[in-house]
């Protein structure tokens, strides 16, 4: 993919076997990008829906010439219906479309939620639809940049056994790699991704704020090589990549950190987050054999309770 917006396929392309007419409901950051990726693979995006002006602009950029229509009409026109709405709106949307008769037998209904498997598509399945859950494991900007990032991107896929080949084909056509997730493990799968990606952003932003408080003029410049190396090492080596005072059992340094955080944000969420992560890190360092029980004892005393560290300062 070269990153330019998708162009509507010609008649020869859409007449090829296995090509579908595609409708996109939800023109947020994900829907137009995946719609464009499917168009690149030769499918024909025939309609999309979006509420906000920004959604409409995004669809116009990535899906040029595709009409913006009400959700029910999008569903009626499409052979493959792509639902890219927020998690909390998905069940109601599926039930509503099924109730209005917009879901006909044989229609492929795909959602991109990480939280849900195919259970949320039960009303569509009852109406005769083929249900697929295809969750791209990527942070989206809603721009052309995302098309290139889809190359090699993992998709968390849940599908009935008989529809697995179709799910795999669609993922590969979008540039991704399928990873099969059992229906009952979807919430755990999604929790892992949220903890890894969403909370990483919070931790990085918080570290930058503390560096500014410490007088660092360019915290992002300081953090970039450190955090890039830490991420690379963690992905390669897991817990054995741990470094720093907790992994060394340096209780005095950790106590000093907590004392300083009390001055910056007394008993607030910043200190609580540091304490929680330090406890988790200590547990993992112990389990990995990086800390002995004797080395860990003073550290665990510092981390043992909300006020226990005061006695060790």
Whole-structure pTM value? 0.84
- 127, 106 Cβ separation under 8 angstroms: no
Query: Up-side HSE of residue 176: CA atoms within 13 Å toward CB?
Result: 26
- Assign residue 216 a region (left: φ > 0; alpha: ψ between -120 and 50; beta: otherwise): beta
pLDDT in tens, the chain (313 residues): 344 444 443 433 344 446 999 999 998 999 999 999 999 999 999 999 988 888 889 999 999 999 999 999 999 999 999 999 999 999 999 999 999 999 999 999 999 999 999 999 999 999 999 999 999 999 999 999 999 999 999 999 999 999 999 999 999 999 999 999 999 999 999 999 999 999 999 999 999 999 999 999 999 999 999 999 999 999 999 999 999 999 999 999 999 999 999 988 776 899 999 999 999 999 999 999 999 999 999 999 999 843 433 333 3
Considering the four listed CATH numbers 1.10.10, 3.40.50, 1.10.1040, 1.10.3470, the one that applies to the domain covering 189-312 is: 1.10.1040
The pLDDT of residue 297: 93
Kindly report, residue by residue over 151-188, the tens digit of the pLDDT. Answer: 999 999 999 999 999 999 999 999 999 999 999 999 99
Name the token pair of 310.
């005061």
Indicate the domain borders of the chain. 11-181, 189-312
How, if at all, do strands 108-111 and 44-49 pair? unpaired
CA distance 185 to 188: 5
- Listed in sequence order, the DSSP H helices in 145-250 are 145-149, 164-173, 186-193, 199-213, 219-237, 245-248
Please state which architecture CATH assigns to domain 11-181. Answer: 3-Layer(aba) Sandwich (3.40)
Contacts of 310 (CB under 8 A, 6+ apart): none
């Amino acid at each position: 993919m070269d990153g330019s917006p998708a162009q509507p396929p010609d008649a020869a392309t859409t007449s090829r076997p296995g090509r579908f007419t595609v409708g996109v409901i939800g023109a947020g950051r994900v829907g137009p990008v995946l719609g464009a990726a499917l168009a690149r693979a030769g499918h024909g995006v025939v309609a999309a829906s979006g509420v906000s002006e920004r959604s409409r602009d995004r669809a116009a950029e990535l899906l040029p010439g595709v009409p913006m229509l009400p959700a029910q009409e999008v569903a009626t026109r499409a052979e493959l219906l792509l639902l890219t709405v927020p998690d909390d709106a998905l069940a109601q949307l599926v039930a509503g479309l099924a109730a209005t008769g917009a879901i006909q037998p044989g229609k492929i209904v795909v959602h991109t939620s990480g939280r849900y498997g195919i259970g949320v598509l039960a009303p569509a399945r009852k109406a005769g639809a083929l249900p697929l859950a295809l969750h791209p494991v990527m942070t989206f900007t809603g721009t052309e940049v995302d098309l290139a990032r889809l190359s090699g991107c993992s998709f968390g896929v849940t599908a009935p056994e008989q529809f697995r080949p179709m799910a795999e084909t669609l993922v590969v056509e979008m540039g991704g790699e399928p990873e099969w997730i059992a229906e009952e493990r979807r919430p755990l799968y999604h929790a892992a991704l949220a903890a890894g990606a969403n909370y990483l952003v919070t931790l990085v932003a918080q570290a930058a704020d503390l560096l500014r408080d410490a007088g660092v003029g360019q915290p992002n410049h300081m953090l970039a090589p450190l955090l890039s190396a830490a991420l690379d090492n963690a992905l390669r080596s897991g817990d054995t990549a741990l470094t720093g005072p907790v992994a060394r059992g340096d209780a005095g340094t950790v106590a000093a950190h907590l004392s300083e955080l009390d001055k910056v944000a007394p008993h607030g969420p910043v200190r609580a987050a540091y304490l929680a992560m330090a406890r988790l890190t200590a547990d993992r360092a112990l389990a990995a054999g990086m800390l002995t029980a004797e080395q860990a004892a003073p550290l665990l005393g510092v981390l043992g309770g909300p006020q226990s560290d005061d006695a060790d300062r």
